[in-house]
Amino acid sequence: MRYGANDVLRDVRFQAHHGEVLALLGPNGAGKTTTIEILEGFRMRSAGRVDVLGADPAHGDERWRARIGVVLQSWRDHGNWRVRELLAHLGSYYAPYTTGQVQRPWNADELVEAVGLTAHAAKKIKTLSGGQRRRLDVAIGIVGRPELLFLDEPTAGFDPRARHEFHDLVHRLARDHATTVLLTTHDLAEAGKLADRIVVLAGGRIIADGTEDELARQVAGEDEVRWTLDGSHHTRTTPDSTGFVRELFARHGAAIGQLEVRRASLEDTYLALVREEETATR
């Protein structure tokens, strides 16, 4: 992707599998929103090949669009509509796209309940708080029961409980409805909790793609293992604490005491990856 003479995405190559939750991470300006907008068909790429649910998003028709859900970074509209009323209205556009496998749209009352807005269902949208408005954005994104859902910083502004409930909702969408989810977030705990796989974008390139454990392994030995053996204390750092502990028990069995494993957090891994990329391109 090039804006004027500025290449903002280069060699971006990744795949999302059916039913997978994929988190796209990266510093501000890395190109996450641009990538998502290209996949949604909102932005035309300068070059390269993109395939989303079997179609090129640049030429996706209504039937293709009905299979996709989008939650943008910010969306301020429909202030005079009421919550349930807007969801029922938007949902009605999806009815013709019901298939043998997917009944569209999502029932408005069930959807309001699923995003925790039942108490506000009859309120005008302009009277909602920021977090409540964001829940409605999520509801609008899933009202058509999408097979593929794009979430651009979905929980920005959520209180901890709303965040927790939202995480449950994403798990349910992936588990019960086999929805494929591509989300961007700056909350690394959220990415670790939700994502089957993490893609890290920095400086317009993909610098890492894998599970949290695979990413941690890309960065030099960060896990710390402590234990006692015959009364003496031991500490060791290792890139593979599970394998190390397995070996430790195989060798010493019940003689091992006070075992403690401090895994490298996703935040440690992410910061190390981004630092490496910055050093390499400086």
**Using CB under 6 A as the criterion, which residues of the chain lie in contact with ligand ATP when the complex forms?**
3, 8, 26, 28-34
Shortest spacing between CB 235 and ligand ATP, in angstroms = 37
User: Is the dihedral angle over the CA atoms 161, 167, 173, 176 positive or is it negative?
Assistant: negative
User: Is the Cβ of residue 40 or residue 147 nearer to ligand ATP in the bound state?
Assistant: 40
Shortest spacing between CB 150 and ligand ATP, in angstroms = 12
User: Is the Cβ of residue 9 or residue 142 nearer to ligand ATP in the bound state?
Assistant: 9
The answer to whether 134 and 155 have CB atoms below 8 angstroms apart is: yes
Enter the tokens of residue 28. 């501000």
Query: H or E stretch including 234?
Result: strand 232-238
Shortest spacing between CB 26 and ligand ATP, in angstroms = 5
Any idea what the Cα angle at residue 263 is, between residues 261 and 266, rounded to 5°? 165
Maximum pairwise Cα distance, the chain? 72
Shortest spacing between CB 62 and ligand ATP, in angstroms = 26
Any idea what the Cα angle at residue 100 is, between residues 96 and 101, rounded to 5°? 105
The answer to whether 131 and 100 have CB atoms below 8 angstroms apart is: no
User: Is the Cβ of residue 147 or residue 153 nearer to ligand ATP in the bound state?
Assistant: 153
Shortest spacing between CB 151 and ligand ATP, in angstroms = 13
Residue 72: partners with Cβ closer than 8 Å, 6 or more residues away: 137, 152
